[in-house]
A and B are shown apart, each in its own frame.
Chain A
Amino acid sequence: MVLLFLWVGVLHAQVSGTVKDENGSILQGVIVASSNGKNVAATDKDGNYELELDDGSTHLAFSFRGYVSQTHEVTDGVLDVNMKRAETYDLDEKVHFGNYTQRKTLVTDATYSVTGEELRRSPVGNLSMSLAGRIPGLFTRETYSEPARTNTELYVRGSSSPNGGTAMIVIDGFPYDYNANQLFEYITANEVETINVLKDASAQALYGIHGANGVIVITTKRGVKQPLKIDAEINHTFEQRTTTPPHISSADFVRLRNQAGYNDGNGRYSYFSQVAEEGFVAGEDRSFFPDNNWRAMSARDITQMSRVNVNLTGGGDKAVFYTNVNVLRQDGMWKVDPTTTDYNPNNNFLWANIRSNVDVNLNKYLSIGVNLSGNIKRERTPGGNAVSLTYGGSWDGFAKRIWYRFFTLPPYNYGPTTPLVQDPETGDISGGEVVVTETEPITSWAVINRLGYDQYTVTNIYAQFAPKLDLSFVTPGLSLSGSYGYQTNAVKGLFANRTYEEWVRTKDYSELEFEKIRTQVNTPLQYRSSTSFYYNLNYKGVLNYHRRFKDVHDVTAMAYSFYQHLNKAGGGLPYKRVNSGVSVGYGFDDRYLVKFDLGYSGSEQYSSENRFTAFPAVSAGWVASNESFLKENPVLTYLKLRGSWGKAGNDRGIGRYVYLDNVTLTGGGFGFLGGHNVNEGQVANPLLDPEIITKKNLGIDLSLLNNLTLTVDMYNERTENGVTSAISRTPDYQGVPLVNYPRTNVGVYENKGYEVALDFTRDINRNLTVSLGGWFAHNKNQIIFWDESERAEDFAYRIRQEGYPLGQQWGYMVDDHNGNGYFNSQEEINNSGLVYEIGTPRPGYLKYYDLNADGKINDKDKVPLGKGALPNFFYAFHGGFKYKSFDLNFLFQGIADYWTIDMSNSRVEYSFEGMYSEWHKTAWTPERYANGEDITYPALSAQKNSNHEASNFFLEDKSYLRLKNLEMGYTFKAYNGIRVYLSGQNLFTWDKLDHDIYGPEGHYDGGIEGIPVYRLYNVGLSIKF
Chain B
Amino acid sequence: MKKYIIFSIIALVACFTPSCNKLLELEYDGRSSLDELFKTRNGVRGYLNSCYDSRIFPDINRSALTDEAQSSERVFQGTLPSFWYVDAFSAANYSNVDGQPWGGIYQSIRKCNIFLKRIEGVSAADLASLEDEITSWKAQAHTLRALYYLQLIKRYGAVPLITESYEIDHDFGQDSRAPVSAVVNQILADCDAAMSAPEAALGFSWTVRVGENFIMNRAVVQAIRSEAALYAASPLFADGTYSWNQAAEVTGSALSNLLTNGYELWDEVPGDGVAQNTYDFYFITQHDEQRARDKETIYGGPNVNIWGSHGMPSTPGQQSAGASPTQELVDAYEMQATGLPPITGYADPQHLQPIINTASGYDPENPYEGRDPRFYATVYFNGAKRELGASTGLARDDHYPLNMTLSGNNISITEEDGGFRIETLGGDPFAPTTTLGTDINASSGSILLKFKYKSNRDITNAQFFFQAPGAAGGQSTPENVVLNKSDEWIDFELDLTPYRSESWWKWGAADHSLRFDVGPDAGSIVYVKDMEINVRVDLTPADPVQSYVGGKDAISTTDRRATHTGYYLRKYNNWRSGRDNNADGEIRMFRLAEMYLNFAEAAYQSTGNPDAAINIGNGMSMSARDAVNAIRRRVNMPDLPAGLSKDEFEKRYRNERRVELAYEGHRYFDVRRWQIMENVERYVTGMRITKQSDESFTYERIGFARESYKEKLYLYPIPQGEINKMQSHTGTNWQNPGWN
Residues in A lying within 8 Å of B, measured CB to CB: 3, 261, 266-267, 270-271, 428, 438-439, 471, 473-474, 480, 501, 517-519, 521-524, 526-528, 541-543, 559-561, 563, 573, 576-578, 580, 602-604, 608, 611-612, 657, 660-666, 669-674, 676-680, 683, 727-738, 742, 789-792, 794, 837-840, 858-859, 910-912, 942-946
Given A735-B166, A839-B88: A602 in contact with B21 (beta carbons within 8 A): yes
User: Max chain A CB contacts within 10 Å: which of B86, B722, B725?
Assistant: B725
Please tell me if the beta carbons of A261 and B9 are within 8 angstroms of each other in the complex: no
Judged by a CB distance under 8 angstroms, whether B675 is at the interface is: no
Evaluate contact between B21 and A611: CB separation under 8 angstroms.
yes
Q: In whole angstroms, how far apart are the Cα atoms of A671 and B719 in the complex?
A: 33
Q: Is the CB of A943 within 8 A of B47?
A: no
Whether A859 lies near B15 (C-beta < 8 A) is no
Contact flags B1-36 to A (C-beta < 8 A → 1, else 0) = 110011001001111110011011111011111100
- Min Cβ gap B657→A in Å is 31
Q: How far is the CA of A150 from the CA of B16 in the complex (A)?
A: 41
- Asked if residues A663 and B26 are in contact (CB atoms below 8 Å), the reply is no
Known: A602-B24, A665-B46, A676-B45. A523 touches B435 (CB 8 A): yes
Bound: A738/B102 CA distance, A: 13
Q: Are A674 and B46 in contact (CB under 8 A)?
A: yes
**Is chain B's interface secondary structure helix, strand, loop, or mixed overall?**
loop
Specify which of B47, B726, B727 is in contact with A678 (CB 8 Å cutoff): B47
| Assembly CA distance A828 to B25 (angstroms) | 68
Shortest Cβ distance from B213 into chain A, in angstroms?
Answer: 7
B212 within 8 A of A: yes
Residue B707, interface by CB 8 Å: yes
Smallest Cβ distance from B95 to chain A, in angstroms? Answer: 13
A944 touches B9 (CB 8 A): no
Asked if A664 and B579 make an inter-chain contact with CB atoms under 8 angstroms apart, the answer reads: no
In contact, A522 and B437 (Cβ under 8 angstroms): yes
Q: Please name 24 pairs of A and B residues whose Cβ atoms are closer than 8 Å in the assembled complex, sorted by A.
A: A271-B558, A518-B317, A519-B580, A527-B407, A542-B13, A561-B15, A580-B15, A603-B24, A662-B31, A663-B32, A665-B46, A669-B50, A670-B214, A672-B213, A676-B45, A680-B50, A683-B168, A730-B172, A732-B102, A732-B721, A733-B162, A735-B107, A792-B723, A942-B558
Known interface pairs A518-B317, A676-B45, A683-B168. Does A608 touch B21 (Cβ–Cβ under 8 Å)? yes
| CB-nearest residue of chain A to B74 | A943
Binds A, one of B77-85, B489-497, B516-524: B77-85
**Residues of chain A within 8 A of B110, CB atoms compared:** 734-736
Q: What's the least CB distance linking B209 to chain A, in Å?
A: 8
Known: A604-B26, A677-B50, A733-B160. A561 touches B14 (CB 8 A): yes
Measured between beta carbons, the chain A residues less than 8 angstroms from B724 are 789-792
> How far is B88's CA from A474's CA once the two chains are assembled, in angstroms?
79
Are the C-beta atoms of A673 and B46 separated by less than 8 Å? yes
Per-residue A-contact encoding for B410-450, CB less than 8 Å = 1, 0 else: 00000000000000000000000011011100000000000
Q: Is the CB of B561 within 8 A of A438?
A: yes
Residues in A with CB closer than 8 Å to B37 are 663, 665, 678
Q: When A541-B13, A672-B215 are in contact, do A733 and B103 touch as well, CB less than 8 Å?
A: yes
Cross-chain contact B34 with A608 (CB below 8 angstroms): no
Interchain CB contact under 8 A, A266 and B6: no
A456 CA to B729 CA, complexed, in Å:
53
What is the CB-to-nearest-CB distance from B545 to chain A, in angstroms, rounded to a whole number? Answer: 20
Say yes or no: A665 contacts B435, CB within 8 Å.
no
The answer to whether residues A673 and B49 also contact, given A560-B13, A742-B168, A790-B727 and a CB cut-off of 8 A, is yes
Q: Does B299 lie at the interface of the complex (its beta carbon under 8 Å from any beta carbon of A)?
A: no
Is B621 at the interface (CB under 8 A from chain A)? no
B211: CB under 8 A from chain A? yes
* Neighbour of B107 across the interface among A541, A737, A794, CB < 8 A: A737
Q: Which residues of A sit under 8 angstroms from B276, Cβ to Cβ?
A: none
Inter-chain contact A839/B45, CB cutoff 8 Å: no
* A944–B437 CB distance below 8 A: no
Q: Does B511 contact A (CB under 8 A)?
A: yes
B285 contacts the other chain (CB 8 A): no
Residues of chain A contacted by B317 (CB below 8 angstroms)? 517-519
B733: interface (CB < 8 Å): yes
Does B89 touch A at the CB level, under 8 Å? yes
Smallest distance from the beta carbon of B707 to chain A beta carbons, Å? 6
Identify the closest chain B residue to A521 (Cβ): B437
The residue in A261, A670, A942 that gathers the most chain B C-beta atoms within 10 A of its C-beta is: A670
By a beta-carbon cutoff of 8 Å, the part of chain B in contact with chain A is: 1-2, 5-6, 9, 12-17, 20-21, 23-27, 29-34, 37, 41-43, 45-50, 52-53, 74-78, 82-83, 86-93, 102-103, 106-107, 109-111, 113, 159-160, 162, 165-166, 168, 170, 172, 209, 211-215, 317, 405-407, 434-435, 437-439, 469, 509-511, 513, 557-558, 560-561, 579-580, 707, 719-729, 733, 740
A527 to B209, CA, bound (A): 45
Q: Which residues of A contact B434 (CB under 8 A)?
A: 523-524, 526
Shortest Cβ distance from A543 into B: residue: B13
List of 10 A-B pairs having minimum Cβ-Cβ separation, nearest first: A735-B110, A676-B46, A521-B437, A839-B88, A732-B103, A561-B15, A669-B49, A672-B212, A789-B728, A604-B24
A580 CB contacts on chain B under 8 angstroms: 13-15, 17
Contacts of A731 in B (CB 8 A): 172, 722, 725-726, 729
Chain A neighbourhood of B511, CB < 8 A: 522, 524
**Contact pick for A573, options B13, B26, B113, B165, CB 8 Å:** B26
Extra A-B contacts (13), CB below 8 Å, given A521-B438, A612-B20, A735-B107:
A266-B558, A439-B560, A474-B6, A527-B406, A543-B13, A561-B16, A580-B13, A669-B53, A673-B45, A683-B168, A735-B113, A789-B725, A944-B82
> B86 touches which one: A501, A524, A673, A839 (CB < 8 A)?
A839
A270 to B319: give the CA distance in the assembly, Å.
20
B12 partner residues in chain A, CB cutoff 8 A: 480, 541, 561
User: A334 → chain B, closest Cβ, in Å?
Assistant: 24
Expressed in whole angstroms, the Cα–Cα distance for A474 and B33 within the complex equals 55
Closest A residue to B43 using CB positions: A665
Are the CB atoms of B88 and A944 closer together than 8 Å?
yes
Residue of A473, A523, A791 contacting most chain B CB atoms (<10 Å)? A523
Which residue of B is nearest A270, CB measured? B558
Q: Which residue of B lies closest to A438 (CB)?
A: B561
Partner of B34, one of A261, A663, A910: A663
Q: What chain B residues lie within 8 Å of A576 (beta carbons)? A: 23-24
Residues on A with C-beta less than 8 A from B103 are 732-733, 737-738
Instruction: Considering the complex, give the chain B residue whose CB is closest to the CB of A562.
Output: B15
Closest approach, in angstroms, between the C-beta of B211 and any C-beta of chain A? 6
- Residue of B13, B50, B76, B727 touching A791 (CB-CB under 8 A): B727
- Given A573-B26, A608-B21, A789-B725, decide whether A438 and B77 contact each other with a Cβ distance below 8 A: no
Tell me the bound Cα distance from A510 to B508 in angstroms.
28
Tell whether, in the assembled complex, residue A664 and residue B727 are in contact, meaning their CB atoms are under 8 Å apart.
Answer: no
Q: Identify the closest chain B residue to A573 (Cβ).
A: B29
| Residues of B with C-beta under 8 A to A473 | 2
User: Closest chain A residue to B5 by CB distance?
Assistant: A474
**Chain A's nearest CB lies how many Å from the CB of B443?**
16
The answer to whether A522 touches B435 (Cβ under 8 A) is yes
